[in-house]
Amino acid sequence: MLPTNTPVDKAFKHGLRELLLSSVYTLWYTRLQDRMDELISRNNVLNNTSYVCLRLRGRLHWMSGMGVTSHEEYTPNKLHPSLASEAHAWLIDFNEIHNEELSVSHSLSSVLSVSNHMDDYKEMLPESLHSVLDGYTGIIPDQATTPRAPAAAVARMKIQQAPHLAPMGQRFVLSLIL
């Protein structure tokens, strides 16, 4: 039996997907932002300026809390040559995390489409994420009356998505250690 597509089911899956993604990736984006704040500050010192943003490869990156709040033109500071390798490393790390999150997000959507039952999700997702599932407090279908997905469908999805979801489980464990 395929999962239903009621408003409760949609809200449940959306909330669970967002919780899983934020539980894993918020720390990593915060660390990247801290590095960017430090990079902008050091760049300002080296250039004797006080800019709140820096342009890297055509994209503006802002200090924490300094995003655009109006349509004013902001002139980003030029990157001091001594910071080029650090900025390059930051871009590599940002792209790695961003691309991983996009891949994981698509895989999570596939996993969540198979069932409406938490026990099925626990079978399909890395074990390290089970505590996140257990802590979910959003809208949830009645698990006592929600049918489980066919075991073959769960097993097939687990095999298909495991390579895409493994980095999420590993990053979550690493964030617990750090």
Consecutive 10-residue averages of pLDDT for the chain (178 residues): 65 91 94 96 93 87 73 72 97 96 94 91 93 86 85 92 90 84
Tokens of 159: 């095999």
d(CA 70, CA 79): 24
Any domain includes 107: yes
Residue 3: predicted pLDDT: 56
Q: pLDDT (tens digit, 9 = 90+) per residue, 93-103?
A: 999 999 999 99
DSSP string of 2-58? PPP--HHHHHHHHHHHHHHHHHHHHHHHHHHHHHHHHHHHHHHHHHT---SEEEETT
Residue 55: predicted pLDDT: 87
Taking Cα atoms as reference points, which of 31, 39, 33, 26 lies closest to residue 64?
A: 33
What is the identity of the amino acid at 11? A
Any domain includes 34: yes
What values do phi and psi take at 77, rounded to 5?
-70, 145
Any domain includes 14: yes
Any domain includes 145: yes
Any domain includes 16: yes
**What range does the domain containing 114 cover?**
7-42+83-177
Find the helix or strand (DSSP H, E) in which 144 lies.
none
Q: How many domains does the chain have?
A: 1
Q: Which residues of the chain form beta strands (DSSP E)?
A: 53-56, 59-62
Q: pLDDT (tens digit, 9 = 90+) per residue, 14-43?
A: 999 999 999 999 999 999 999 999 999 999
d(CA 44, CA 57): 18
Region of 151 (left: φ > 0; alpha: ψ -120 to 50; beta: rest) is alpha
pTM of the model: 0.82
Residue 1: predicted pLDDT: 44
